[in-house]
Amino acid sequence: MSDGERLIATPRGIKLAPLDAITDGKARNFVLQMRAGRFHCFVVRKDDAVFGYVDRCPHMGLPLAQVLDDYLT
């Protein structure tokens, strides 16, 4: 992928933190640096599985959490 191509997803295998840094059943915010830009994302942990999302409402463009790390899970 060249620098001019639009990034539509993060590559697999990005390491943000150790698994125990995310409480089971909770979410944690991260700032991810991709190429020349940064964006906020959050990870939700359920047992040993984690699910990542961009922290941005697709309708309003606002963050999904009103308080850091406090997401409706």
Render each residue's pLDDT in the chain as its tens digit; 73 residues.
455 666 667 777 788 899 999 999 999 999 988 777 788 889 999 999 999 888 888 899 888 887 888 876 5
Q: Are 42 and 13 in contact (CB under 8 A)?
A: no
pTM attached to this predicted model: 0.74
Residue 66, φ and ψ in degrees, nearest 5: -80, -25
Query: Each residue of 39-66: b (16+ CB within 10 Å) or e?
Result: ebbbbbbeeeeeeeeebeeeeeeebbee
For residue 39, being part of any structural domain is answered with yes
Predicted pLDDT at 7: 65
For residue 26, being part of any structural domain is answered with yes
For residue 31, being part of any structural domain is answered with yes
For residue 37, being part of any structural domain is answered with yes
For residue 24, being part of any structural domain is answered with yes
For residue 60, being part of any structural domain is answered with no
Domain of residue 24, residue span? 19-54
For residue 41, being part of any structural domain is answered with yes
For residue 34, being part of any structural domain is answered with yes
Q: How many domains in the chain?
A: 1
